[in-house]
Amino acid sequence: MDLSSLTGHIEDLLTACGEDPEREGLKRTPERYLKSLEFFTSGYQKDPQEIAKRGLFHNPVEDMILVRNVEFYSLCEHHMVPFYGVVHVGYIPNEKIIGLSKIPRIVEVFARRFQVQERMTRQIAEALETALAPKGVGVVVKAHHLCMMMRGVQKQSSFTVSSSMLGCFRDLKTREEFLAHIHSPGPV
Ligand code: ZN
């Protein structure tokens, strides 16, 4: 994806905000902004199943596997400003497990797009369900939304929690085990 043909539009935007796009500090800003935007939306070019496929292993484990605190940065589709936070992922394998480093990469695929938190949460859970056919998968996302913090209600300390529970994670006992692991202290 190449957005570099849009620099004129960003100059117009700066002018409309009351700026002089010719001023020294802003000269290359449209170019830099569009480069950043290409990166922020790079998830559209990526296929989560392609990523997962390269990290699947047969393993008859039947216990819960968890990856906590996967950082993410995304853009809210309503305001095009960031929301960011952490993702916690847990699953109970059926026959396949996934390389742990693939989970953050799958999170990136969905975070690097225009998003709403609820959809991103579900997309991560469904991508893992498709890739692993596990007994169950659970995803919890906690995020700060700059559109709530910098504008609108300006609530700086509020954060939003969303979850998606599939398969056996819908059962109360499994869900409780998952949530207890999320809230337990880390290794250090
Ligand atoms: Zn928003």
Span 76-118, pLDDT tens digits: 999 999 999 999 999 999 999 999 999 999 999 999 999 999 9
Active site residue 144: no
Which pLDDT belongs to residue 77?
97
CA of 10 to the centre of ligand 1 (A): 21
Q: Catalytic residue at 168?
A: no
What pLDDT sits at residue 51? 97
Distance (angstroms) between ligand 1 centre and the Cα of 172 equals 32
| Identity at 138, one-letter amino acid code | G
3-state helix, strand, coil in the chain (%, to 5): 45, 25, 30
Please determine, for residue 21, whether its predicted confidence score (pLDDT) is greater than 80. yes
Token pair for residue 15? 């002018």
Residue ranges of domains in the chain, CATH in brackets = 4-40 (no CATH), 48-183 (3.30.1130.10)
Count of CA atoms in the C-beta half-sphere (13 A) of 120: 33
Q: Is 115 a catalytic residue?
A: no
**145 in catalytic set:** yes
Residue 155's pLDDT band, with cuts at 50, 70 and 90, is confident
**170-185 pLDDT per residue, tens:** 999 999 999 999 988 8
- Residue 117 is a catalytic residue: yes
**Angle between the N-to-C axes of helices 29-40 and 7-16, in degrees from 0 to 180, rounded to the nearest 10:** 110
This model's pTM is above 0.85: yes
Sign for the pseudo-dihedral over CA of 179, 106, 143, 188 = positive
Packing angle, helices 102-111 and 117-132, rounded to 10: 140
Average pLDDT, the chain: 95
CA of residue 81 to ligand 1 center, whole Å? 7
Choice among 19, 31, 38, 79 that is catalytic: 79
Out of 78, 156, 176, 183, pick the active-site residue: 78
**Tokens in use for 100?**
């742990």
Residues 51-74, mean pLDDT to the nearest whole number: 94
Q: What is the pLDDT of residue 122?
A: 98
Given pLDDT bands bounded at 50, 70 and 90, which one contains residue 186? Answer: confident
DSSP-derived 3-state class of residue 168: helix
183: CA distance to ligand 1 center in Å? 27
Residue percentage of the chain with pLDDT more than 70: 100
